[in-house]
Each structure stands twice: as C-alpha cells, then as structure tokens.
C-alpha cells in the first residue's frame, strides 16, 4: 500500500527526519578508533529514548531476518553493507563504517544511512565508493518530483553507480515510508525512466543507493541478519528520507544545522 501524508503529518515527518540526522551526526563524531559497535548501539538507544521517539529496529522481525533485531541501529563495517547487527567489535583506523537508523516519532518514521571512514587513513577506494553512493543519492533526489515516476529515480541512481563502475544488486533498495518504516513502492537502485508508480505530493520515500566494490552478490552472517559482500570486498551506503512536494523533493533527514 502506498501512503500519502496529509500536510499536517508532513511537519511531523520533518521533526523525525531531523532527529534521525542529528543522532547519526552525533554517532559519527563519536565513532573513532577504539569505539565498540555495542557502544554505538547503546548511545543510539539513549538518544531515541531521550527524544521521546521509538526505534523501528528493536522489535523488527521481517521474513529475511532471524527473530527480532534486538538493537537500535545498524552498524556495518567494511564488507558488511546492510542490516549490520551491532556486536563486540572495536573500530580500527581506516574501517569503512555505515550507520543506518530508522526511528518513529509522532506517528511518522524516517530512515537515513551514512558511510564514513574511521580514523585518519583514507583508503582511496573507500573514499570513491562512498562518494559514488552520495552522488547517486543526489541524482535520485533530483529526479524525484510530482509527476516523475519511480523508474526515473531508479534510473538516475543506477546511472551514477554504473558510471562509477559498480555492479548493482536489485534485491534490496529504497522504499516508501510513513506510519511504518517499509512501505510500497519499492525503489530499485537501477531501472528504466518513465516506468513505475507516479509520484504525488505527500509521498515519503527512503532512497538508498548502496554498492559493493566488485560483486552484486550478498552472503548472510551467522547472526542471521548482517549482509556482507560475497567476495569480502568493501561496501558503502547512503540514504535519505525525502518528501515529494508540489515543488520537487525535500530532504527530511538533514541535521538541524544543515536546514535551509
């Protein structure tokens, strides 16, 4: 089912979006050499509770996961890319870390992910991969607006990722979002322009280009959740929640200080 938000709900969606973005920026600043993934999870829980919000993850139990997730954030390091379950791991210099967070507040959910390199070393391949997902996300957002179709967004994202030389996995992509975290329509990270659901003002979408350096194949960890690249190569992921408005697309998951 596709959910279209009323203008009054859009204001609440913005509040949730800023909260998600602010938590991610705080976590990024605290994720340094020596930080444990379980600390990141604990800090996330505290910030969600203090904001009077609800975790979309802790009780999440989809068909592809093993039991409730039981954690408050996804932490994916290096070859891990999606649904990274926080575990007892201490971050090292040069680790490529993805933090993916969805929370609900005032009845509206928002979902965002950032990838960055921990410490001072900046492996060029990791920098390039993160940049490609960020540019693909920007292209997808630029292609979203009333009257455009989901295929236009998918095509714009896929064009950037392909041009950068990355294979594209079509099992997991973006999605509608609103009163719950995952809704229709699905937003593949590659597609044909002019196809698919026609965007309408009030629709919220989470766009999330992600790539693996040299494969499109995923393998699942023994934890039943964490998805890694089949070849062990590095991965990156960038996600924003956007609202379709009469004027185009508005990014909801920008930190407070980045608000226009």
DSSP string, 28-81: HHH--TT-BHHHHHHHHHHHHHHTT-EESSTT---TTSSS---SSSEEEETTEE
Nearest-approach distance from CB 4 to Mg ion, in angstroms: 19
**In 3-state terms, what secondary structure has residue 133?**
helix
The yes or no reply on residue 100 touching Mg ion (CB under 5 A) is: yes
Q: How far apart are CA 104 and CA 91, in angstroms?
A: 28
Residues 6+ apart with CB under 8 A from 220: 226, 227, 228
Binding characters for Mg ion, 59-98, by CB under 5 A (x = yes): ----------------------------------------
Instruction: Let me know: does 89 contact 77? Beta carbons within 8 Å.
Output: yes
When the beta carbons of 101 and 139 are compared against Mg ion, the nearer one is 101
To 5 degrees, how large is the angle CA 18–CA 60–CA 176?
55
Interface with Mg ion (CB under 5 A), residue total 6
Report, in Å, the least distance between residue 235 CB and Mg ion: 14
The binder of Mg ion chosen from 22, 41, 79, 111 (CB under 5 A): 111
- Which stretch in 9-17, 23-31, 41-49, 200-208 sits in contact with Mg ion by CB under 5 A? 200-208
Q: Which of residues 156-195 bind Mg ion (CB under 5 A)?
A: none
Q: Which of residues 212-241 bind Mg ion (CB under 5 A)?
A: 239
- Find the part of the chain contacting Mg ion (CB under 5 A) among 103-111, 140-148, 152-160, 228-236: 103-111
Cβ distance to Mg ion smaller for residue 53 or 113: 113
With beta carbons less than 8 A apart as the criterion, state whether 197 and 2 touch: yes
Least CB distance to Mg ion at residue 124 (A): 26
Give the integer Cα–Cα distance in Å for 139 and 152.
10
Q: Does 206 bind Mg ion (CB under 5 A)?
A: yes
3-state class (DSSP) for residue 238? coil
* CB 113 to Mg ion: min, Å: 5
Q: Which two tokens stand for residue 247?
A: 């004027």
Q: Which is nearer to Mg ion, 9 or 111 (CB)?
A: 111
**Binding footprint of Mg ion on the chain (CB under 5 A):** 100, 111, 113, 206, 208, 239
């Amino acid at each position: 089912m596709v959910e279209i938000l009323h203008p009054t709900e859009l204001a609440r969606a913005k509040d949730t979006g800023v909260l998600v973005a602010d938590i991610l920026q705080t976590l990024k600043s605290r994720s340094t050499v020596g930080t444990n993934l379980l600390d990141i999870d604990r800090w996330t829980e505290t910030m969600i509770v203090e904001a009077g919000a609800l975790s979309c993850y802790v009780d999440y139990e989809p068909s592809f996961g093993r039991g409730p997730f039981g954690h408050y954030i996804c932490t994916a390091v290096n070859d891990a890319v999606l649904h990274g379950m926080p575990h007892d791991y201490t971050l090292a210099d040069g680790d490529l870390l993805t933090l993916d967070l969805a929370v609900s507040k005032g009845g509206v959910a928002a979902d965002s992910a950032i990838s960055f390199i921990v410490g001072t070393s900046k492996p060029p391949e990791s920098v390039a991969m993160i940049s490609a997902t960020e540019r693909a996300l920007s292209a997808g957002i630029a292609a979203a607006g009333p009257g455009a179709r989901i295929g236009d967004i998918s095509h714009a994202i896929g064009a950037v990722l392909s041009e950068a030389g990355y294979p594209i996995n079509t099992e997991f992509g973006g999605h509608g979002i609103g009163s719950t975290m995952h809704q229709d329509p699905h937003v593949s990270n590659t597609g044909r322009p002019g196809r698919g659901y026609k965007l309408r003002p009030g629709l919220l979408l989470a766009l999330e280009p992600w790539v693996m350096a040299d494969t499109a194949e995923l393998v699942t960890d023994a934890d039943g959740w964490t998805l890694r690249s089949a070849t062990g190569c590095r991965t990156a992921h960038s996600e924003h929640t956007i609202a379709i408005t009469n004027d185009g697309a508005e990014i909801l998951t920008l930190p407070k200080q980045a608000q226009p």
